[in-house]
């Protein structure tokens, strides 16, 4: 396939209107974003991507991302508490496994307090995102786009692994969608205010280019051999996600598609979650339901952990790609901090859009060794895990001023 991308793409520049007393250089920038001496700021450093590009080109597919896979989050063992074993936990830990009172559960059987707090937390984080964090995330988006381009350039090396011609044609179309996402990102940067809230709307919009890009990366990593070893997908919370698709005649219109944000149901939505988007967007929370026969769903419910869409495949794909770029054990303290900040922003984005709960995002990241200080919520309980995460977010400089716990 002839690649549509023949060379390096020009950097995206965040722009602002010129001050009246300044000469017009033709380059504008949002007032809060720093300038380089040239007046522009490239949002991707191609050199930093060398490990990923090597892997995509076939020389690095066996890199140490699996070797660096720290403890794959083990799920319930024979000794893990269930309805019959709770009494063996001892009084000091029993409260973690006491299910919320039925009157405190929403129609998805999730604790109302938890879904409300997570929604407020995610919205506050993105709507008040400081400029350095916004720049960090945009640079990360450029890394993802460049990774898609590299897969496209090497398409001919792995296309034969796609069994059907239709699948090959669909992948080519997905490559084109990445270009459309880049165009949208450029438009966002050129039209102030370039804010966290407006970026969320662009990424979560109905065109689906961002989710499509992540799905494309997942497919390419699989067929190219990059993700052919043990990874988080082998965890029980992926093997059994605890969800099933909700029949169309049972879907609530205001949950499936609306201009509102967060993971609460419509009965418990607060004003801060309303009308965050200029158009109605589709939300996974309105399409999926808890699987009553699922062991994972039972663990979520017993531990008080909200179940919206099951473990996030998007988070797993993104973290795995970053591991190929540079395994966690090779990162400096600053690089590890920035990577965990990116994971936090992705998790908040998925909560913002009504697709996943916080722990559904953290479980895949923990499987690769990130946020290792946070206990497994399905073992120790949602409250303790949330308290630890709250503290971790503050240490990362990401505190939105909204707590996940009382």
- What is the C-alpha to C-alpha distance for residues 349 and 270, in angstroms, rounded to an integer? 18
pLDDT of residue 255: 67
List the one residue out of 40, 60, 41, 62 whose CA is nearest residue 50.
60
Q: What is the pLDDT along the chain (406 residues), one digit of tens a residue?
A: 433 333 344 444 444 333 333 333 232 333 333 323 333 333 333 334 444 444 444 433 333 333 333 333 333 333 344 443 333 333 334 344 445 544 488 777 899 999 999 999 999 999 999 999 999 999 999 999 999 999 999 998 888 888 888 888 889 888 988 888 999 999 898 887 789 999 999 999 877 689 889 999 998 998 887 765 557 887 888 888 888 887 777 777 766 778 888 898 878 888 888 878 888 888 878 778 888 899 999 999 999 999 999 999 999 999 999 999 999 999 999 999 999 999 999 999 999 999 999 999 999 999 999 999 999 999 999 999 999 999 999 999 999 999 998 7
Domain assignment present for 99: no
pLDDT of residue 229: 54
pTM of the model: 0.76
Kindly give, in sequence order, each residue whose CB lies less than 8 Å from that of residue 208, ignoring residues fewer than 6 positions away. Answer: none
Domain assignment present for 34: no
pLDDT of residue 87: 35
pLDDT of residue 162: 87
- CA end-to-end distance (rounded Å), the chain: 56
Kindly give, in sequence order, each residue whose CB lies less than 8 Å from that of residue 283, ignoring residues fewer than 6 positions away. Answer: 255, 256, 257, 258, 353, 354, 355
Give the three-class secondary structure for 127: helix
pLDDT of residue 268: 81
Task: Please answer whether residues 263 and 338 qualify as being in contact, where contact means their C-beta atoms are separated by less than 8 angstroms.
Answer: no
Q: Residue 188: which domain range?
A: 111-406
Domain assignment present for 242: yes
Give the count of domains, the chain.
1
- What is the C-alpha to C-alpha distance for residues 267 and 257, in angstroms, rounded to an integer? 15
Per-residue HEC secondary structure of 41-104 comes to CCCCCHHHHHHHHHHHCCCCCCCCCCCCCCCCCCCCCCCCCCCCCHHHHCHHHHHHHCCCCHHH
The two three-digit tokens of residue 127, written as one number = 């709507």
The two three-digit tokens of residue 261, written as one number = 């944000």
Domain assignment present for 21: no
Domain assignment present for 85: no
pLDDT of residue 173: 87
- What is the C-alpha to C-alpha distance for residues 105 and 301, in angstroms, rounded to an integer? 10
- What is the C-alpha to C-alpha distance for residues 15 and 43, in angstroms, rounded to an integer? 13
pLDDT of residue 33: 34
Domain assignment present for 52: no
pLDDT of residue 99: 52
- CA angle 206–212–213, rounded 5-degree value: 125
Domain assignment present for 35: no
Domain assignment present for 28: no
- Using one digit for the tens of pLDDT, what is the confidence trace for 130-159? 999 999 999 999 999 999 999 999 998 888
- Using one digit for the tens of pLDDT, what is the confidence trace for 100-115? 544 488 777 899 999 9
């Amino acid at each position: 396939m002839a690649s549509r991308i023949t060379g390096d793409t020009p950097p995206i520049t965040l722009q602002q209107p010129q001050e009246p007393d300044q000469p017009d250089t033709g380059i504008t920038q949002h007032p809060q974003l720093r300038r380089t001496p040239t007046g522009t700021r490239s949002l991707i450093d191609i050199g930093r991507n060398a490990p990923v590009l090597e892997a995509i080109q076939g020389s690095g597919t066996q890199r140490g991302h699996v070797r660096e896979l720290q403890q794959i989050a083990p799920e319930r063992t024979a000794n893990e508490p269930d309805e019959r074993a709770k009494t063996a936990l001892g009084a000091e830990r029993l409260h973690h496994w006491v299910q919320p009172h039925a009157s405190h559960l929403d129609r998805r059987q999730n604790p109302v307090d938890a879904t409300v707090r997570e929604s407020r937390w995610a919205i506050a984080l993105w709507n008040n995102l400081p400029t350095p964090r916004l720049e960090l995330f945009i640079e990360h988006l450029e890394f993802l786009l460049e990774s898609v381009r590299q897969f496209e350039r090497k398409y001919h090396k792995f296309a034969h692994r796609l069994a059907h011609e239709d699948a090959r044609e669909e992948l080519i179309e997905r490559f084109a969608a990445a270009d459309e996402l880049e165009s949208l990102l450029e438009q966002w940067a050129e039209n102030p205010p370039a804010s966290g809230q407006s970026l969320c709307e662009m990424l979560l919009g109905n065109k689906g280019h961002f989710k499509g890009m992540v799905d494309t990366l997942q497919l390419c990593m699989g067929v190219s051999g990059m993700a052919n070893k043990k990874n988080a997908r082998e965890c029980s919370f992926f093997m059994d996600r605890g969800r099933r698709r909700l029949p169309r005649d049972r879907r609530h219109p205001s949950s499936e598609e609306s201009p509102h944000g967060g993971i609460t149901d419509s009965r418990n939505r607060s004003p801060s979650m309303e009308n965050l988007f200029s158009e109605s967007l589709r939300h996974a929370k309105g399409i999926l339901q808890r699987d009553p026969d699922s062991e994972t769903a039972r663990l979520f419910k017993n531990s008080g952990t909200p179940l919206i869409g099951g473990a996030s495949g998007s988070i797993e794909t993104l973290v795995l790609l970053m591991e190929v770029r540079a395994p966690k054990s090779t990162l400096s303290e600053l690089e590890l901090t920035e990577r965990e900040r990116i994971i936090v922003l992705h998790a908040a984005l998925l909560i913002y859009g009504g697709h996943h709960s916080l722990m559904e995002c953290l479980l895949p990241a923990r499987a690769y060794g990130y946020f290792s200080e946070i206990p497994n919520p399905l073992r120790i309980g949602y409250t303790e895990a949330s308290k630890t995460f709250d503290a971790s977010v503050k240490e990362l400089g990401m505190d939105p001023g909204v707590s996940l716990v009382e």
